[in-house]
Amino acid sequence: MNPDTVTHAVQKGVRVTLGATATLIEALQDPQGVRERFSSVGTDFNRLAEELESQGVLTEQEARKFVDSVATQMPSPFAQGASSDGATSPSTPSSGPKVDAALQADLAELNQQLTQIREDLEALKQQGPSA
């Protein structure tokens, strides 16, 4: 068995499975429509496999289009902060999420308090143990 035959068989199996899944979802949404579509197939399994494979191909194409559209809408993490000459520039505060001014003031105050506590601890360490 050559690799092309194996690849083709696996690809067909994936598409038939994808088509069967899509058909099952359709059957849950519109049982009558699926029944009419597959009533002519009967017990001809080759024809059923072909129908499911064609459904799988369509589903695969739709999924690729969806993924491509989502990928084009998402910002690229590597392009952010890059200029046209390829050099990176630091991001500006306006490029991030907007934060409430009162929250920023509280955060700045907490940072100052933390800095003061660190300085006090450093001073206590340098005094040494007091007995």
pLDDT tens-place string over residues 100-113: 788 888 888 888 88
**Mean pLDDT across 23-31:** 83
Q: Using the predicted structure, report yes or no on whether residue 9 has a pLDDT greater than 70.
A: yes
Give yes or no for residue 114 having a pLDDT over 60.
yes
Q: Give the total residue count for the chain.
A: 131
Other beta carbons less than 10 A from residue 51's beta carbon: 19
Are 50 and 15 contacting, i.e. CB atoms less than 8 angstroms apart?
Answer: no
pLDDT at position 126: 86
Give the C-alpha separation, 8 to 106, whole Å. Answer: 63
pLDDT digits (tens, 9 = 90+) for 46-96: 888 888 888 888 888 888 898 888 888 877 666 555 454 554 445 555 555
As given in the structure block, the two tokens for residue 12 are 């067909």
